[in-house]
Amino acid sequence: MFPSSPEVGPRDERRERAAARRARRGGPPAADPGPPPPAPPAPGSPAATIAAAMARPSPPAAEADDEPEEVEVVPVRPGLSAAIAGFAVLLTIGLIFGAQTAGPGSARIPYAIVIFGVQLLFILAWTMAIRPPALPVVAGVCVIVALGADLAAVLPQTATIAPLGYVAAGGFAVGVVGQLIRPADRARVTDSLGATLLIVVGVVSFATLIVLGRVPLGTQAIFVCLAATGISLIVARLTDAVLAWPRLAPQVPRGAAGVVFGAMAGTLVAAVIGSYLVGFTPTSAAVVGLVAAGAAGLADLATGYAEAGRQMAGEPPTMWIARHMQGPLGGFALAAPAAYGMCVLFLT
């Protein structure tokens, strides 16, 4: 028994007749149209969702990653730079003339009062700028540390900075314990340790000027170092007001020319002063002034970078005047122990 042949429909018969007529005329056979295209999926069905996702163009991820992030350039405000230079002038005059008027015994107390006032400004500026955890606790402890450091510099019969170290260590320990008592402050324990140590050491460093005034050549060393420090900060800020070039960073409104010119001017002034002071030569005074001026200039610059880092991290801005007092105060806080070290190790 043979298999049945497939049934031929009317559509197939018409296709065969058309092909036969083309063959008789010499034309090419008609192409097979093939099966009809599938019907589009119904809207809302899973097939329609997948088809829409495949047809959607993918974002150029590689091109987006290659595009550099735009950095906002902070403008330099000449008036603000000049005002900061004026504040540095006031600090220089107060600290130098206070040291020149100090005497033995109870005559050191007026200079200690001047130092205590500068320490209060330092505490205000740096606590408001850094904003450590438990800020009132840190500020209160630092005020007590400032008073204790000044007494430790005035009262002992022998001029030494050892009591200042004990006061700094005790104040740091009390400040850390006061911040760790509150559970909310324990989450930022690393930030609290660094901020507390920085503020306490800065406060105590000003008291070294009182001790330095009690050693041989101490008063002259204060004159040379603080004059070089003040001139360095003043010239650097005034140069930024005129020409802040080249910019050290887009986020920091400072120029390299101001930092370099400030250190050079401070060293030159120290050498000139040293040529008129007993116990100094222009060379020794220039070396001491270079160390003090360079340290102060770098500390002032570092505060600008720290402030830019806090702004980039999204921290809210703090008291305006405190943020801009931070640089000169930090410069003198670093120059004071540098002056003591240079006097004890290099001059005597």
Asked if 135 and 185 count as a contact pair (C-beta separation under 8 A), the reply is no
Contacts of 281 (CB under 8 A, 6+ apart): 274, 275
The closest alpha carbon to 294, from 323, 270, 324, belongs to 270
Cross-strand pairs, 255: 247
pTM higher than 0.85, yes or no? no
What is the band of 178 on the pLDDT scale with cuts at 50, 70, 90? confident
Domain parsing of the chain, residue ranges: 103-212, 217-348
On the question of pLDDT at 152 being above 80, the answer is yes
Query: Using one digit for the tens of pLDDT, what is the confidence trace for 62-88?
Result: 444 455 566 778 889 999 999 999 999
In this structure, which amino acid lies at residue 161? I
On the question of pLDDT at 283 being above 60, the answer is yes
Asked if 266 and 231 count as a contact pair (C-beta separation under 8 A), the reply is yes
Report the mean per-residue pLDDT for the chain. Answer: 85
Residue that wins the pLDDT comparison between 106 and 258: 258
